[in-house]
């Protein structure tokens, strides 16, 4: 059995301000997020990780580096563009409230009809491409490293889309399942690199703090 431990990056300034970041937008990690990285590292410290992969985007890369230090993980960190956040085009850097008003139809698709969320209207990447690249990488990794524990540090939207693809669920299952909090841990397992099972979803028990809308997408 191969187990994947998916961690969303630490909370950033734009998370706090309720702005979309996307695949090209980025903002500074909050000082408090570094303490959260230590907490998730401590939570995972009893697990021997065979590999750690992260999105190359700074907020995820720095999160992965700090968790790896906490885990005393010696090999070099592996960065993969397949794990980068969904490209959001004109939405990147914009307040969620403004996007909801200025791109009403697309935003409604994002919230209520993900089958139609393909990003063309605002120059974004869209669901299909974002899910496919994530699923392709995770399945290949599972097949290349059976019987391994693998840590993946990525982004809220990309993790939600990609994990849903691994589970082979209808897109709107994402809304039923709920979002992913900054520095949360989600665990999936597979015995064949094709079929995946949730073992834990959006675990934040180790953070010991109240969660709000700024921490979840």
The annotated binding site is made up of 8-15, 59
- Confirm whether 24 is a catalytic residue: no
Torsion of CA 63, 70, 138, 131, to 10 degrees: -20
Specify the length of the chain in residues: 217
Contact 54, 83 (CB under 8 A): yes
Torsion of CA 93, 78, 52, 67, to 10 degrees: -60
Which residues, other chains included, contact 209 with Cβ-Cβ below 8 Å and sequence gap of 6+? none
User: Would the CA dihedral through 73, 79, 80, 83 be positive or negative?
Assistant: positive
Give the CA diameter of the chain: 48
Catalytic residue among 28, 85, 155, 194: 85
Structural tokens at position 158: 């990309």
Between vectors from CA 159 to CA 158 and to CA 161, what angle results, nearest 5°? 65
Catalytic residue among 9, 125, 131, 155: 9
Which residues are documented as binding site for substrate?
Answer: 8-15, 59
Which residues, other chains included, contact 169 with Cβ-Cβ below 8 Å and sequence gap of 6+? none
- Confirm whether 51 is a catalytic residue: no
List the catalytic residues. Answer: 9, 85
């Amino acid at each position: 059995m191969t187990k994947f431990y998916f961690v969303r990056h630490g909370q950033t300034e734009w998370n706090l301000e309720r702005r979309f970041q996307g695949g090209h937008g980025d903002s500074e990690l909050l000082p408090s997020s570094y303490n959260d990285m230590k907490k998730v590292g401590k939570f995972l410290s009893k697990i021997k990780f065979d590999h750690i992969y992260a999105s190359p985007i700074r907020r995820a890369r720095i999160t992965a580096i700090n968790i790896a230090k906490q885990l005393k993980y010696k090999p070099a960190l592996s960065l993969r563009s397949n794990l980068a956040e969904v490209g959001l085009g004109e939405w990147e850097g914009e307040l969620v409230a403004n996007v909801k008003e200025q791109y009403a139809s697309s935003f409604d698709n994002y919230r209520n009809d993900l089958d139609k969320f393909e990003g063309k209207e605002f120059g974004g990447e869209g669901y299909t491409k974002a899910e496919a690249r994530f699923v392709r990488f995770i399945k290949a990794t599972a097949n290349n490293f059976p019987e391994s524990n693998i840590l993946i540090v990525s982004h809220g939207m990309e993790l939600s889309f990609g994990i849903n693809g691994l589970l082979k669920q209808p897109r709107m299952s994402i809304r039923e399942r709920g979002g992913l909090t900054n520095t949360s841990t989600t665990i999936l397992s597979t015995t064949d690199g094709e079929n995946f099972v949730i073992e834990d979803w959006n675990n934040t028990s180790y953070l010991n703090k109240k969660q709000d809308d700024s921490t979840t997408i």
